[in-house]
Copies of this chain bind each other. A is one copy, B any other.
Amino acid sequence: MITSTSNPRVKRVRALQTRRSEREQEHAFVIEGIRLAREAVRAQVPARLVFHTEQIDARGRGLVNSLARLGAEIQVVTPAIMAACSATESPPGLLAVVDLPQRPLPSPLTFALVIDGLGDPGNLGTILRSAWASGAEAIFLSDGTVDPFNPKVVRAGMGSHFDLPLCSFAGDQLPEALAGMSLWVAQARTGLHYASVDWRTPVAILIGSEAEGPRPELRRRATGLVQIPMRREAESLNAAVAASILLFEVLRQRGQP
């Protein structure tokens, strides 16, 4: 049983939890808890290392076995070590280091989301969860955006990370994969009513940072601006809510994901 925070495996997990550079170099990230472990097993993601406490229940033990079959080394740790490795206030009974998923881009691409500069990890995770549920086929994240494998993004994403192609791009030009698609920028109080756009053609939706929207280089490439009309006295919507309303309008018009 691992009991010390100076154990090299503990140090590795903590580095992956706290540093984007570590995740990118190791090409791995950490998932916490039963639910995400179940999603990883469902998606058959290669697993490298599992920490679990002795207190996990039968369901947890079943998942540990499944993760072992996906390649993970299994280690029992004390609750104190689990707490030291967890990014949450209530540490789970198990966590796992798994490969960064690499889903291929579908071809042709007909429904994508482009994110530039979003800073709040909870917002990004919620957007990924909505994007996956709405039938979006890929997410493009500019270099100014919070890391999608940040622990808070992973938690709010509820497993969507395993299914959605997530592509990073340099924010000064659009990814080539979006050539030929309409690009609509979500904007407060300007542009077309979001429900008056025909979303049944190949489309990408561009979501910018909470405070400033997308950078000018990307905005200039847009087909147009769309807004979600709202009560005059209200200032704006939460960024994840605004993105989700647009994503589900696409699905409403298309009829099925």
Residues of A within 8 A of B (CB): 122, 126, 129-130, 132-135, 156, 158-160, 163, 195, 228-238, 240-241, 244-245, 248, 251-252, 256-257
- The residue in chain B whose Cβ has the minimal distance to the Cβ of A248 is B245
Q: Which of B235, B245, B257 contacts A231 (CB 8 A)?
A: B257
Structural contact, B244 and A237, CB atoms closer than 8 A: yes
In the complex where A241-B126, A245-B248, A248-B245 touch, is A235 in contact with B158 (Cβ < 8 A)?
Answer: yes
The residues of B that contact A134 with a CB separation of less than 8 Å are: 230-231
Q: Which of B230, B238, B240, B256 contacts A251 (CB 8 A)?
A: B230
Q: How often does this chain occur in the complex, in copies?
A: 2
Structural contact, A252 and B158, CB atoms closer than 8 A: no
Cβ of A234 to closest chain B Cβ, rounded Å: 4
- The residue in chain B whose Cβ has the minimal distance to the Cβ of A126 is B238
Cβ of A131 to closest chain B Cβ, rounded Å: 10
- The residue in chain B whose Cβ has the minimal distance to the Cβ of A238 is B126
Structural contact, B245 and A133, CB atoms closer than 8 A: no
Structural contact, A252 and B135, CB atoms closer than 8 A: no
The residues of B that contact A236 with a CB separation of less than 8 Å are: 133, 158
Cβ of A188 to closest chain B Cβ, rounded Å: 10
Structural contact, B238 and A257, CB atoms closer than 8 A: no
Structural contact, A195 and B230, CB atoms closer than 8 A: no
The residues of B that contact A228 with a CB separation of less than 8 Å are: 248
Structural contact, B122 and A237, CB atoms closer than 8 A: no
Known: A163-B233, A241-B244. 16 other contacts (CB 8 A): A122-B122, A126-B241, A129-B234, A129-B238, A129-B241, A130-B238, A133-B234, A134-B230, A134-B231, A135-B230, A156-B238, A158-B236, A228-B248, A229-B256, A238-B240, A240-B241
Cβ of A138 to closest chain B Cβ, rounded Å: 14
The residues of B that contact A232 with a CB separation of less than 8 Å are: 257
The residues of B that contact A245 with a CB separation of less than 8 Å are: 244-245, 248
In the complex where A195-B252, A257-B230, A257-B231 touch, is A241 in contact with B135 (Cβ < 8 A)?
Answer: no
In angstroms, Cα B231 to Cα A256, docked, is: 8
- The residue in chain B whose Cβ has the minimal distance to the Cβ of A39 is B235
Cβ of A193 to closest chain B Cβ, rounded Å: 9
Cβ of A152 to closest chain B Cβ, rounded Å: 12
In angstroms, Cα B238 to Cα A50, docked, is: 27
